[in-house]
Structures are given as C-alpha cells and as structure tokens.
C-alpha cells in the first residue's frame, strides 16, 4: 500500500500573558511551566493516535501555540522521537520575548529546522498597544541569534491595520522585516475576533481607504523585494513556502496533537475532523480523549474551496476527486456563474485576480 503524506501539528497552550487581539487557544502562564507533565501528555496522545499514523509518512511537523518557545529543546526532541518518519520541515513558533530562555543552537540540534518569530511590528509604540511582551530590538536580536545558530529558514509574523496605524508606518514595519532578509514573511491583517479584549473594547483601526492604499503599497514592496505571494497572507522567497501550511491549504491530511489541537484525516473516502480538549488541565488529565466528526458530503465542497482558493494558483480540476471523492459536477452551477462573472477560472480550480481580491464574497456562493 502507498504511504500517505501526513502533517503533524503539536499545540503548546501557554503564553507569558494573553495578547488582547488573540483568540488562539492560549492561556496566561500562572506559576511554573508544567513542562514534564505536558510532554508526557503529548507522548500519550501520540501513542493513542497510532492508527492515525498507520500507512502515513510524516512530512512536516509544526510546533505552534500559544508560545512553544517557553519549552526547552529537550521537550521537542522527545516529541520528535515519538513521531514516525523523518519530516522534511519542522517549525517552531517563537515569541521574541521568550527567546533568551533557551539556546537556538539547542533547538536546531533537537531537530527543528524552521523558525517562525512573532515580530508583529517593529514599532515599540505599536507593540505596546498590542500588549506584546517584547520590544522591536528583541526581535532583531532574536533573529540574528537564530541565524548565527544555523537557522536558514526563518519566518517573521507581521500584522498590519494596527490601531491608529497609517500607510507609512505599516510600510516601515515591512521594510524593517525585509532588511533582516527572512526566507518567509506572514503579513496578516489584524482582525477583531469575538471573545478578545480588542473585540470588547475596539481600538481605533485605520479606515477603508487607508487599508486599501496600505495593502497595495505593502504588496508592491514585498514583490519588489523578491517575495512571492503564495497564499492570502503568506509571502516567501522562491522555494521557501511553508510545506506544513501548504498541506493544509491543499486539503492534505494532518494529525493534531496537544490541547485543543485539530486534525483532519481521510479514510475510505470520508473526511474526519478530530479535536482534543482545549483546557490544558483537562487535556493533561486525559490526553487520550479526542472527539471526532465526519464532514458531511454536502459540506465537503465548501471546505475544500475555502482552503484551495486561498492559493492564487489553486489546483487542477483533477485534484478535486483525489482530495474529496467529489467530481467537478459537484461545483456546478455556481462555478459556471463565477466564471461568467469573471471571478473564477474556467481552466482550473482557482480565482481570477479580481476573484482573489473578493475571496469572501466568492466563497459565499458555495455556502
């Protein structure tokens, strides 16, 4: 039997403090980090998930959070040695405010070969408004230390449309990021997510016109600096796209390990989504508990397009069947209408340049 490619996402649910805009499963750390206990729970979760790994080759591992960089290199080494296979890409998310806790060279030796630094902005005033625990200078230092330790594949997370930000300030952030010469930049529009502090007490965000000019200027700058946009918010040097995230967007399978982690597995033609308990204490008390739901065939088309259309090049029509079991007739009549409206392409599953700008509206038709 052929071995199926599998991504593995491993969640680390604690942060030094909760940022007011963040709706990720992250919990402010109270007291000492329960590292050994949490790693034991992750190992139990992996062993209970053995059937999910059967007939699969782990191609990528993503240690996300929360703030995984609170954990020591040894923790990641233990998790990696419990996973089958020899992944090509192993990413660690790191908050620049925690990167002096451990040595980057030790993370590298533990098997991590890609680093994702949560820079967010290079303006100390903006960082303070975002409730970040670090200054811009710490991001620059963390980046340089990571390079010296041998990391040759680094992403910087930046957000734009920050409280009271103007176009020049957003472009200055991008410019400072580019000057560090990372292989990858994730450039996210700040969104106000329900259940966050920013949602309850919204800060003053840039108006629509500022956002439009800022986005145009930012895209131009990234492109002229040699970065390619391969997803709505993801920009990379040629050949440096994030393989783990590309697997999500191409509707590939992944296991989700750790508190609140989500997984997606295709077996016998049906797509199953898995979730672990989100509360760290509840997860640690029973790391083998997992809920699983099968995606209804009527919903599959929407979920597939929601992912694949985030990629400007989309995919070939033939890929739909292999990923979902659906034939292209399942896209009709909406696809034909989208083509006629100039939003969707007739030759592949992808948007036109106009459709890409109005992705949310395009997706509405497939709900």
Ligand X SMILES: C[S@@+](CC[C@H](N)C(=O)[O-])C[C@H]1O[C@@H](n2cnc3c(N)ncnc32)[C@H](O)[C@@H]1O
Contact set with ligand SF4 (CB under 6 A): 15, 18-19, 22, 24, 26, 65-67, 95, 118
In the complex, least distance from residue 152 CB atom to ligand SF4, rounded to whole angstroms = 24
> How far lies 62's CA from each of 56, 92, 108, 193, in Å?
17, 6, 14, 23
- 118: contact with ligand X by CB under 6 A: yes
- 193: contact with ligand X by CB under 6 A: yes
Q: In terms of DSSP H, where are the helices of 243-352?
A: 243-249, 280-285, 297-308, 317-324, 334-340
| Tokens 């399942």, located at residue | 330
Q: Which does 70 bind (CB under 5 to 8 A by kind): ligand X, ligand SF4, none?
A: none
Q: Which does 146 bind (CB under 5 to 8 A by kind): ligand X, ligand SF4, none?
A: none
Q: Which does 18 bind (CB under 5 to 8 A by kind): ligand SF4, ligand X, none?
A: ligand SF4
The closest alpha carbon to 44, from 282, 289, 255, belongs to 289
The span from the CA of 305 to the CA of 250, in Å, is: 9
Q: Which does 52 bind (CB under 5 to 8 A by kind): ligand SF4, ligand X, none?
A: none
* Contact window for ligand X (CB under 6 A) among 36-44, 62-70, 220-228, 272-280: 62-70
Among residues 49, 60, 72, 95, which is the contact residue for ligand X, using CB under 6 A? 95
In the complex, least distance from residue 33 CB atom to ligand X, rounded to whole angstroms = 15
Answer for the pair 352, 344: CB distance below 8 angstroms, yes or no: yes
In the complex, least distance from residue 330 CB atom to ligand X, rounded to whole angstroms = 32
Residues paired with 58 in a beta bridge: 6
Phi and psi based region of residue 159 (left: phi greater than 0; alpha: psi -120 to 50; beta: remaining): beta
Q: What is the rounded radius of gyration, in angstroms, for the C-alpha atoms of the chain?
A: 21
- Interface residues with ligand X (CB under 6 A) are 21-22, 24, 64-65, 67, 93, 95, 118, 120, 157, 159, 188, 190-191, 193
């Amino acid at each position: 039997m052929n071995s199926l490619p599998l991504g593995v996402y491993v969640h680390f649910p604690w942060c030094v403090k909760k940022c007011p805009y963040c709706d990720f499963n992250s919990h402010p750390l109270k007291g000492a980090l329960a590292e050994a206990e949490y790693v034991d729970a992750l190992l139990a979760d992996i062993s209970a998930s053995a059937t999910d790994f059967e007939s699969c080759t782990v191609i990528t591992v993503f240690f996300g959070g929360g703030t995984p960089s609170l954990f020591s290199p040894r923790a990641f080494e233990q998790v990696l040695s419990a996973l089958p296979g020899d992944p090509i890409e192993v990413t660690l998310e790191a908050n620049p405010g925690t990167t002096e806790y451990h040595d980057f060279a030790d993370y590298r030796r533990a098997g991590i070969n890609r680093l994702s630094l949560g820079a967010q902005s290079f303006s100390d005033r903006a960082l303070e408004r975002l409730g970040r625990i670090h200054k811009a200078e710490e991001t620059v230092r963390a980046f340089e230390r990571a390079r010296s330790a041998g990391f040759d594949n680094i992403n910087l997370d930046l957000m734009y449309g920050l409280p009271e930000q103007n176009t020049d300030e957003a472009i200055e952030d991008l410019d400072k990021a580019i000057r560090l010469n990372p292989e990858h930049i994730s450039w996210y529009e700040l969104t106000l997510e329900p259940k966050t502090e920013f949602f309850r007490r919204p800060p003053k965000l840039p108006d629509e016109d500022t956002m439009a000019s800022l986005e145009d200027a930012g895209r131009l700058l990234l492109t002229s600096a040699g970065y390619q946009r391969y997803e709505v918010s993801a920009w990379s040097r040629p050949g440096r796209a994030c393989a783990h995230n590309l697997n999500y967007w191409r509707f590939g399978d992944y296991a989700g390990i750790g508190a609140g982690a989500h997984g997606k597995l295709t077996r016998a033609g049906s797509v199953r989504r898995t979730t672990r308990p989100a509360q760290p204490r509840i997860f640690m008390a029973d790391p083998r508990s997992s809920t699983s739901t099968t995606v209804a065939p009527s919903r599959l088309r929407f979920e597939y397009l929601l992912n694949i259309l985030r990629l400007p090049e989309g995919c070939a029509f033939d890929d739909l069947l292999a990923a979902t079991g659906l034939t292209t007739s399942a896209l009709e009549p909406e696809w034909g209408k989208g083509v006629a409206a100039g939003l969707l392409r007739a030759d592949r599953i992808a948007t036109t340049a106009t459709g890409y700008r109005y992705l949310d509206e395009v997706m509405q038709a497939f709900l």
